[in-house]
């Protein structure tokens, strides 16, 4: 189902720069959908800080590699609601594949691998969060059999 | 600025004659009306029986009414010729002109249908609502990128052929020219490097046809006004939303291996062919760029009224085969060589759609026709005068529709060739009779 030669695993320290670049690209892409998604003035530095946190284990992160190059990543966090039977939910907050590596099913593969990883941690549902106007994300998750589950409404304080 | 040829002011002449004739087409009955009583056959009470029959089986409308030979030429007037957004009424004379060509060259009854549905969903709704009246839809002069969405969606939603001539028509005739140009220079088109300058309706459709024809996407480079469509373009993710068709080309071609930000000069280095469908020249394409192309370069400069580079300039720079959109130069890449025949073919087999494979079948037949006549540098595509090419293309398209399982009726090449030839010849004969009998008044002003 997936192309051979694509490796998916947790990111390593030496991949910080490459991961930071993908994180920055993810936020630049999503920026246009809603003013509340506007990115900080120094996206390069901040993306490096975030990448470092991800590598050190903040949330769950996986990277996809082709020929030892990081070409995509996925990040998720586990949220728990004690009142719900569902309990822990794994929420995918970021996915990005480098344009050079697209149309090979890498994003789908990242979601599958993330689901497996979260499953091992007792998660029975996975969700995805993205700007309401991002039709590409909407189509992507619909194709992977995700359904609308919660809505987030926003206003300025 | 008026385009004058041999001293003729076509603009002024056209205006005078449009006013004189009050438009260009009319409806003429084709059944005998010998006496008033005949209307009992053609109208009530007799007509109730065909009406009942069609109500039970709507496909009978293709056999019992003129639907089988009637298409709509539909435009919202958002990108008319080189005139831009001139509105539906402004588009009307253009659509009517198209209808005239449809009848004259393809024997197809075409109805201009200009409307105010600029919103793509409204446009599509209109097509769905009027579908029962027509055997096909020819979309025309719609702005990009809306035209791509409308064509894609209309093809999914309608059960009759939908064709956007600015996309498939131009792309098919260009493909025919390219096939023969590569034949002439003795290169394999499927191994060649092809550069497309301009990423509008024509070239985006040409990319699709070339890919389907077997040219590997990485061998193709497509440029828009910002440079090569490349996965590393800064606006690549934005294109994913705003122009998915350009986005797809960038991802699939990988920018043809060029560095991101490369312009046409870099893209043409070592290229075997260039197809420019961009902005009028001269000087849009520079001689120095052509000089850097591979040996026996093929140059198609399709902008009107002035090609991106003059043919003699391209030749001086080393091009071997040059084509333009103009009738006063050799090798005119002209949609009119394709659309009347494609519709003749699809209508005759009551096709449910018209696919890119069918457009390629038309292109191949067009190319084959020219090869049989003997191609050379100044003759790679037939001209509109060679009217036997139309029934041949129609036959190729009809047979392809049957082969693909999208035809409501079956046919063979020979059968469709004969049928198309008869239909087109009959139209010409009727037309000649009207003219010779003075029923079409002589124009009060004329050109030499």
Contact residues, B window 252-291, toward A, CB-based 8 Å cutoff: 252, 254
Catalytic residue among B98, B103, B286, B421, which? B98
B54 shares its domain with B145:
yes
C-alpha distances out from residue B324 to B208, B278, B311, B368, Å? 21, 12, 8, 20
In chain A, domain spans: 6-143
For residue A35, count CB atoms less than 10 angstroms from its CB and return exposed for 0-12, middle for 13-18, buried for 19 or more.
exposed
Do B202 and B135 belong together in one domain? no
Going by their DSSP bridges, the two strands B227-228 and B220-224 should be labelled as antiparallel
Catalytic annotation present for B98: yes
Domain end among B324, B347, B381? B324
Task: Establish how many alpha carbons lie within 13 A of residue B169's alpha carbon, considering only the half-sphere containing its beta carbon.
Answer: 23
Tell me, yes or no, if B431 is annotated catalytic.
no
| B137 & B32 share domain | yes
Domain interval for residue B233: 196-210+219-324
Spatial separation of the C-alpha atoms in residues B293 and B271, rounded to whole Å? 5
With beta carbons under 8 A apart, name residues in chain B contacting A99.
231-232, 236-237, 250-251
Distance of CA A2 to the CA centre of its chain: 19
**In the listed set B298, B324, B350, which residue is the last one of a domain according to the structure?**
B324
- How many domains does chain B contain in total? 2
CATH number at residue B27: 3.40.50.10380
* Together in a domain, B238 and B122: no
ipTM comes to 0.86
Burial class (CB in 10 A: 0-12, 13-18, 19+), B209: buried
Same domain for B36 and B146:
yes
* Contact partners, residue B146, CB within 8 Å, separation at least 6: B78, B120, B123
CATH number at residue B298: 3.40.50.720
Give yes or no: residues B87 and B17 share one domain.
yes
pLDDT band at B6 (very low <50, low <70, confident <90, very high): low
Secondary structure element (H or E) that encloses residue B301, with its range:
strand B297-301
- Does B59 lie at the interface with A, CB-CB under 8 angstroms? no
pLDDT at B1 over 50: no
Q: Which of B260, B293, B324 is the last residue of a domain?
A: B324
Question: pLDDT tens-digit profile of A111-129?
Answer: 999 999 999 999 999 999 9
Residues B139 and B206 in one domain: no
Note whether B156 and B201 are same-domain residues: no
CB B79 within 8 A of CB B141: yes
What is the per-residue pLDDT for A3? Answer: 67
Mean pLDDT on B430-447: 95
pLDDT digits over B52-101, tens only? 999 999 999 999 999 999 999 999 999 998 788 999 999 999 999 999 99
Q: How far is B211 from chain A (nearest CA, A)?
A: 16
- Residue B245's SS3 state is helix
The more confidently predicted of residues A103 and B362 is: B362
Query: Percentage of chain B surpassing pLDDT 90?
Result: 94
Whether B113 is covered by a domain: the verdict is yes
B251: contact with A, CB 8 A cutoff: yes
Q: Say yes or no: domain A6-143 is CATH 1.10.10.410.
A: no
Contacts of B238 in chain A (CB under 8 A): 29, 32
Asked if B28 is an interface residue toward chain A (Cβ–Cβ < 8 A), one would say: no
Mean pLDDT of B114-118: 96
- Whether residue B232 and residue A99 make contact (CB cut-off 8 A), yes or no, is yes
């Amino acid at each position: 189902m997936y192309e051979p030669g694509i490796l998916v695993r947790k990111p390593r320290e030496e991949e910080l720069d490459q991961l930071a670049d993908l994180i920055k690209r993810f936020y630049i892409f999503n920026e246009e959908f809603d003013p509340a998604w506007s990115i900080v003035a120094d996206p390069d530095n901040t993306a490096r800080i975030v990448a470092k946190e991800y590598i050190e284990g903040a949330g769950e992160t996986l990277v996809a590699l082709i020929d030892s190059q990081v070409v995509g990543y996925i990040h998720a966090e586990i949220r728990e609601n004690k009142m719900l039977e569902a309990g822990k939910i794994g929420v995918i907050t970021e996915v990005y594949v480098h344009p050079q590596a697209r149309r090979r099913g890498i994003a789908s593969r990242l979601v599958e691998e993330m689901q497996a990883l979260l499953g091992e941690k007792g998660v029975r549902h996975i969700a995805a969060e993205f700007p309401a106007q991002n039709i590409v994300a909407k189509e992507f998750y619909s194709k992977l059999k995700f359904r609308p589950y919660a809505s987030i409404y926003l206003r300025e304080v | 600025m008026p385009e004058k040829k041999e001293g003729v002011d076509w603009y002024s002449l056209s205006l005078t004659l449009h006013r004189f004739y009050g438009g260009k087409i009319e409806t003429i009955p084709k059944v005998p009306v010998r006496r008033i009583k005949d209307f009992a056959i053609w109208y009530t009470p007799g007509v109730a029986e065909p009406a009942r029959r069609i109500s039970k089986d709507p496909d009978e409308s293709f056999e019992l009414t003129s639907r089988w030979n009637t298409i709509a030429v539909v435009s919202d007037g958002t990108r008319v010729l080189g005139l831009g957004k001139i509105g539906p009424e402004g588009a009307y004379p253009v659509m009517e002109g198209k209808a005239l060509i449809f009848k004259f060259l393809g024997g197809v009854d075409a109805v201009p249908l200009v409307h105010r549905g600029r919103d793509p969903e409204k446009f599509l709704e209109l097509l769905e609502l009027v579908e029962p009246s027509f055997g096909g839809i020819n979309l025309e002069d719609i702005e990009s990128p809306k035209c791509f969405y409308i064509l894609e969606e209309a093809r999914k939603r309608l059960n009759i052929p939908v064709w956007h001539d600015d996309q498939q028509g131009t792309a098919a005739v260009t493909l025919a020219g390219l096939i023969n140009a590569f034949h002439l220079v003795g290169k394999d088109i499927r191994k060649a490097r092809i550069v497309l300058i301009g990423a509008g309706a024509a070239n985006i459709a040409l990319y699709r046809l070339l890919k389907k024809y077997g040219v590997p996407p990485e061998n193709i480079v497509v440029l828009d006004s910002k440079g090569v469509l490349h996965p590393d373009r800064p606006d690549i993710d934005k294109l994913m939303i705003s122009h998915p068709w350009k986005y797809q080309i960038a991802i699939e071609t990988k920018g043809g291996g060029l560095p991101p930000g490369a312009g046409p000069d870099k893209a043409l280095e070592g290229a075997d062919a260039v197809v420019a469908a961009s902005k009028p020249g001269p000087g849009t394409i520079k001689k120095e760029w052509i000089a850097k192309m591979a040996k026996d370069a093929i140059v198609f400069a399709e902008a009107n009224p002035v090609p991106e580079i003059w043919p003699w300039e391209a030749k001086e720079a080393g091009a071997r085969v040059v084509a333009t959109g103009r009738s006063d130069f050799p090798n005119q890449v002209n949609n009119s060589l394709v659309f009347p025949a494609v519709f003749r073919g699809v209508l005759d087999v009551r096709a449910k759609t018209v696919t890119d494979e069918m457009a390629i079948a038309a292109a191949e037949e067009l190319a084959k026709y020219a090869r049989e006549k003997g191609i050379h540098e100044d003759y790679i595509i037939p001209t509109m005068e060679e009217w036997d090419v139309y029934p041949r293309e129609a036959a190729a398209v009809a047979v392809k529709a049957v082969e693909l399982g999208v035809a409501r009726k079956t046919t063979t090449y020979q059968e469709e060739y004969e049928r198309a030839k008869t239909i087109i010849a009959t139209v010409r004969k009727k037309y000649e009779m009207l003219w010779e009998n003075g029923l079409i008044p002589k124009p009060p002003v004329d050109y030499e």
